[in-house]
Amino acid sequence: MGGDHGPGVVIPALMTVATRRPDIRFVIYGREEAVRPELAKHPKLAQVSEFFHCEVAVKMDDKPSQALRHGRWKSSMWKAVEAVKSGHADACVSAGNTGALMAMSKFCLRTMATIDRPAIAALWPTTRGESVVLDVGATIGADAHQLIDFAILGTGMARSVFGVSRPSVGLLNVGVEEIKGQEEVKEAGRMLREANMASMNYHGFVEGDDIGKGTVDVVVTEGFAGNIALKTAEGTARQIAGYLRAAMSRTLMAKIGYVFAKGAFDRLREKMDVGRANGGVFLGLNGIVVKSHGGADSDGFAAAIELAYDMVRNNLLDRIEADLDLFHARNPHAQTNRKSDVASDAEE
């Protein structure tokens, strides 16, 4: 029910994924009057899906605390997250209110035993392929222990999605020199070097331009810088695409040139399409939750579903738990005190 387009985008996306992934099944939550007409357009989808009517749909402008207090138990968003907790679903995918989805996910699923706060991880297109970048908005201002947690979470995701046995990890910083940066970042770097984890190849500090280069498989930062970097990259991609459209339509010769170079421009457009890497993953929870971009089209929402599918298939949670257990067994001093008042986090 969330996002800019609601069931009109979600239902066709389900049909797309069902065609590509014959073993997938869907549990759909929403308002019957909005969902049923869309389902009727795709009769084959009924064979691989269940639908449950929900009276309440969280609005895109609802405050997280308001959605958590008034949308619990009855909303389609809560029911979808709860299905993961109960085992009725393996993963939850939503294009709805990000803050509400995080609040409900954290309240319902809880964080893993040694995780203080969850992170939102994004797949980032690079010149070498893709990288995992986290956190892109869940935790504003992280200490050294939280940055280490993010590194372990991102490593687990990279192993599950990219099939890399020992992903390279970099801490985003204002320079690559060890003397530069905030104390929290320098402390996290020192601890990661000393940990020398078998599942992680700690690269060191990376700068902003290293994200697009694909210097490392996993880029770790706190949510304020990560969210700004994400929004800047999305805006820049749209800006360049606009420049290209304007340039190619300016003169007759430019239009003729575009006809001959159309294949190359199509490949460039595909590389710059932010929808291809759609799906922010809530890492650190006892369940898989993926947040689709609110403005995603059906192809973009399908990409978010397939991201969730791949992480379930490749046992993301088991990988993360094993890495966390190993790190904290070797570094007992790195244990942090978890916050017990989950509802208070929803106010942020």
Residue 325 has pLDDT above 90, yes or no: no
Residue 340 has pLDDT above 50, yes or no: no
Residue 345 has pLDDT above 60, yes or no: no
Residues in CB range of 192: below 8 A, 6 or more apart: 148, 151, 169, 171, 200, 202
Residue 146 has pLDDT above 50, yes or no: yes
Average pLDDT score, the chain: 86
Distance CA 301, CA 120 (A): 17
Distance CA 135, CA 157 (A): 13
The pLDDT score that the predictor gives to residue 336 is 46
Q: 152-161, 302-311, 317-326, 329-338: which has the minimum mean pLDDT? A: 329-338
The pLDDT score that the predictor gives to residue 347 is 39
Check if the beta carbon of residue 91 is closer than 8 Å to that of residue 290: yes
- What phi and psi values does residue 304 have, to the nearest 5 degrees? -65, -40
% of the chain surpassing 70 pLDDT = 89
Average pLDDT value for residue range 26-49: 93
Q: Render pLDDT for 199-227 as a digit per residue (tens, 0 to 9).
A: 899 999 999 989 989 999 999 999 888 88
The pLDDT score that the predictor gives to residue 197 is 85
Residue 157 has pLDDT above 50, yes or no: yes
- Every domain of the chain with CATH number 3.40.718.10 lies at 110-336
Distance CA 11, CA 13 (A): 5
Q: Could you tell me the end-to-end alpha-carbon distance of the chain, in angstroms, rounded to an integer?
A: 23
89 or 233: which carries more pLDDT confidence? 89
The pLDDT score that the predictor gives to residue 62 is 87
Q: Render pLDDT for 174-206 as a digit per residue (tens, 0 to 9).
A: 988 887 878 999 999 998 998 888 889 999 999
Cβ-based burial of 277 (10 A; exposed 0-12, middle 13-18, buried ≥19): buried
The pLDDT score that the predictor gives to residue 67 is 83
The pLDDT score that the predictor gives to residue 149 is 92
The pLDDT score that the predictor gives to residue 348 is 43
pLDDT category of residue 262 using cuts at 50, 70 and 90: low
Check if the beta carbon of residue 92 is closer than 8 Å to that of residue 246: no
Check if the beta carbon of residue 4 is closer than 8 Å to that of residue 295: yes
Dig out the tokens for 74 from the structure.
């009855």
The pLDDT score that the predictor gives to residue 333 is 65
Pick the CATH number of 110-336 from 3.20.20.540, 3.40.50.300, 3.90.950.10, 3.40.718.10: 3.40.718.10
Closest CA to 94 of 81, 84, 85, 107: 81
pLDDT category of residue 282 using cuts at 50, 70 and 90: very high
Average pLDDT value for residue range 66-86: 88
Residue 341 has pLDDT above 70, yes or no: no
Residue 342 has pLDDT above 50, yes or no: no
The pLDDT score that the predictor gives to residue 71 is 67
